[in-house]
Chains A and B, each alone.
Chain A
Amino acid sequence: MKKYSDLEYLKLSKWERFKYRFLSFFAAIPVAIGNLFLGIGKALKKAGLAVAGEAKDIAMTFVNGDWKTKLSYLFMGFGNIARGQVLRGLLFLLFEGVFIAYMILMGGGYLALLPTLGTKGPYQMTERIEFMPGRFREVVKTVTYADDPTIHNSFKILLYGVLTIFFIVAFLYTWRMNVKQNKIAEGILKSGKPLKSGKDDLRSLVDDQFHKTLLALPLTGILIFTVLPLVFMILVAFTNYSSGHNGGETGLFHWVGMDNFRTLFSWDVGGVNYSATFGEILLWTLIWAFFATFTNYFLGIGVAMIINKKGIRFKKVWRTVLIMTIAIPQFISLLYVSKMFTLNGLFNGFLMDLGITHTAIDFWGDPTLARIMVIIINIWIGIPYLMLIATGILMNIPADLYESAKIDGASGWKQFSKITLPYMLFITGPYLLTSFTGNMNNFNVIYLLTGGGPHVNLSNGAGNPGDTDLLITWLFNITQKGFGEDGAQYYLASVIGILVFIVVAFISLIVYNLLPSVKNEEDFQ
């Protein structure tokens, strides 16, 4: 489509401007996607070049280095020790020792089993036991890895297999560091300067290299408790890991390729139409995220504006009332409010007292009503936060903007739509995005209010999906409720998790690049 210059754009009528902006938004989407793939390609190329460069450097160091360096290729840290940097050298050597010991004792075995996830599963054995003196009975017993160490456990194989790969990567990185250090040390010695001692190294950990000290603990935590489990769970999507095949007591699981994705996108698996279920839940998730985000946003701004209006008194009181609801743990308020709206809840009693209705309204029984209620109650939960945020931003809007607008004769609505709203949108653009994706994964509100119900429109599949279920609550229910012969289908949960990630990442990437606060950062500064 035709791109207008600023001057041409200003000449357009209101409707044409809107049309232009609407079209250019959608025209920008394919470009954004294209750029994304181009970016990935470029990154891959860069990574390839980097690896080639490293390999060349490693070879050159070996060829040019002295015997200490050459021996370091086999015994990590040898060069360091030989040149007097004992502390560093010992750490390298220790790491190598631990790595080799781990690989021999555990890692190697698990790594070898990783392609099959184990071949020898638990088996049944009849055992004669003496249940009364002199009387025997044959009992069928399942022998598992706990009784027989030669039996495999797929769960452990996958977990330790992944861990071993992590370990190998870490080792390669350390080894490369070791080589690099030798090269640097040689260079320094050649130029006649002294090397850093162990004391210097320790000192630099609180000085130049202080960031490494600070990051060590948080990053280790993230690596072990987030990255490792995530990699594991992503791999689970390609296995048949479920409570019916949990790798240990109930049998091995194995790789199944893309089967689980096929299940989720197929029309009929054992009488369950997963693709319809998934489509409907995804649709509702997006509708929910949209309404939950924008109702909260605009109503929150509205509340903040009327509280901050000139001439309104007791501002602090109004604000405190709202803030108090943030302080009360969500599970209390959500559970209580959900019970207020049940058939024999307080709200129905209130309505009947007033004579508005004679029979109790089933707020959680009708799909549409339940969905509307969830959104309304979410407003109740969310407005206080938005009020706080909006108050902070509203106070930062330069007052002279309003002054000059007033002099020019702008009405209250004009001031809002031409000054307040653009300013708010500009500042809170990234926040809106994160709150949209946050709402897509808003587990608490849905689970504690409705538990996913009512179960009216959706076919009964894994996790027994209901009409207010989001993808995230569906995922949780799948891991909780057994369905069919597999029991709780963890692999399906994993597939849904991956799809949630893809949707969230897709929306984030595209919207983020179109946000005005990212595009023209200087506009309001």
Chain B
Amino acid sequence: MKNKNQLPALILLVIGLVVTAGGLFLFINRFVPMWSFSHKYMTDNAIFAMLGILGLFLGIVALLLARSLRKQGQEVPSDTLKQHMGLKATARISNTVIYVLLVIISVIWLAPFFCIVVQSFRVNPTGMTRYLFQNPDAALKEGLTIRFGLDNYRRLFAGDFPRWYLNTFIIAVVVAAVQTIIVLCMSYTLSRFRFKLRKPLMQFMLILGMFPGMLTMIILYQVLKDVGLAGANAMPGLILVYVASSGMGYYVSKGFFDTIPKSLDEAARIDGATRAQVLYKIILPLAKPIVIYTVLTAFMGPWGDFVFAKYVTGVTPEAWNVAVGLQQWLSTTTNISENYTMFCAGGVVVAIPVVILFMCLQKYYVEGVTGGAVKG
């Protein structure tokens, strides 16, 4: 039964788990290379490996302690009333602990976004600082004065950024439209039709998915360059590549179609509807959540794509998307000292519409993610 002793045991357990995992990690990370590969950092590795073993040991001790504490707690005899009160008190204490934990979690998760917004308004200095707001110590020691204003946003919209933004937006809209159609075609077919090549096709795509996608980038870039769709004209090329292989991401929506009862199709077929009519008139109206989910994820993808866009657009800034452009602002030390706050402003401008859209359609996203994971 639950008891007051439960709580320290639980805390000890968590600490024990964390320390054990940390120790294990340190040990593996330092011991194995020491023994097999490089001899350069022998002593360094040995110290860390020993630290890892120590952590492992301490963690296990903590775990054992937690266990014995829990057992002790269980063996304490108590009458019903006392037990009842104890339960209530434990519940209250554990709920308080949970609230504290949740607040800490929220702070950790929101802190970077808070910082990025604050820094996007900082005018001086434009580089990185260790301080978010004016810090008297720093002002004294490092001669650091921090001022705030809208300059970053003005600079942002005066430069290449609007171009990148437009590029990304156009790509995202087109990809969202076409990719949705392709994914739905694929998933609906694989969910509803039973044809000879269905299983082999699915297995084949599973195997294809195991190759790192990056591998094909080299040749796709060469081909796009030959056709004239790289560099300044990269947009159609990028769209083509994003969309073309999207059929392989059919899993989530196939899982959804599987849940729509087949009897609906059969009833309509008996009434004389063709397969195509079944799709347009019966399935599509029911599939609204998954359509929205697919559109949403397809729309969000290009905003974050960095590697392929960088590869294809190369050194022509007017063809970049936001990810490539903003990354470039942080790529060298000089760039950082000039553009760091502008990067923050750019990040805010990019994030706002996507976040708003996402928040509005959150329900569908959650459904898609949960459903997709459950069905594998």
Interface flags for A350-367 (1: CB within 8 Å of B; 0: not) read 101100000010000000
Surface stretch bound by A, among B22-30, B154-162, B285-293: B22-30
B220 touches A476 (CB 8 A): no
Cα distance A324–B354 when bound, in Å?
Answer: 10
Q: Which residues of B contact A441 (CB under 8 A)?
A: 212-214
**Does B334 touch A at the CB level, under 8 Å?**
no
- With beta carbons under 8 angstroms apart, the residue of B99, B182, B218, B244 that contacts A312 is B99
B94-132 Cβ-contact flags toward A at 8 Å (1 or 0):
010011011001101110110110000000000011111
Q: Which residues of A contact B113 (CB under 8 A)?
A: 324-325, 328, 333
Residues of the A chain whose Cβ atoms lie less than 8 Å from the Cβ of B38: 276, 280, 457-458
Contact of A324 with B355 in the complex, beta carbons under 8 Å? yes
Whether the Cβ atoms of A505 and B210 lie closer than 8 Å is yes
Q: Are A159 and B223 in contact (CB under 8 A)?
A: yes
Provide the main secondary structure of the chain A interface. helix
Query: Given the known A-B contacts A229-B216, A340-B112, A456-B41, are A311 and B244 also in contact in the complex, defined by CB atoms under 8 Å?
Result: no
A431 touches B373 (CB 8 A): yes
Q: Known contacts A221-B244, A352-B130, A457-B33; decide if A321 and B109 are in contact (CB<8 Å).
A: yes
Chain A's interface size range is 35 or more
C-alpha spacing A288/B357, complex, angstroms: 33
Instruction: Assess whether B68 is interfacial by the CB under 8 Å rule.
Output: no
**Is the beta-carbon distance between B48 and A368 smaller than 8 angstroms?**
yes
Q: Which of A312, A349, A508 has the most CB of B within 10 A?
A: A349
Q: In angstroms, how far is the closest chain A Cβ from the Cβ of B51?
A: 10
Which residues of chain A have a CB within 8 Å of any CB of chain B? 155, 159, 203, 206-208, 210-211, 213-215, 217-219, 221-222, 224-227, 229-230, 232-233, 236, 246, 276, 279-280, 283-284, 287, 291, 295, 303, 306-307, 309, 311-312, 318, 320-333, 335-337, 339-340, 342, 344-346, 348-350, 352-353, 360, 368, 371-372, 375, 380, 384-385, 388-389, 391-393, 396, 409, 411-413, 427-431, 434, 437, 441, 443-444, 447-448, 456-458, 471-472, 475-476, 479, 490, 493-494, 497, 500-501, 504-505, 508, 517
Q: Which residues of B contact A (CB under 8 A)?
A: 1-2, 6, 10, 13, 21-22, 25-26, 28-30, 32-33, 36-38, 40-41, 48, 70, 74, 91, 95, 98-99, 101-102, 105-106, 108-110, 112-113, 115-116, 128-132, 135, 137-138, 181-183, 185-186, 188-189, 193, 195, 205, 207-208, 210-220, 222-223, 240-241, 243-248, 274-277, 279, 300, 303-304, 306-307, 322-323, 326-327, 330, 336, 340, 343-344, 347, 350-351, 354-355, 357-359, 362, 365-366, 369-371, 373-374, 376
A-B contact pairs, 18 of them (CB 8 A): A155-B222, A221-B244, A227-B208, A229-B219, A325-B113, A326-B358, A328-B351, A335-B343, A336-B347, A345-B128, A346-B130, A346-B131, A349-B130, A368-B48, A392-B370, A412-B10, A444-B306, A517-B376
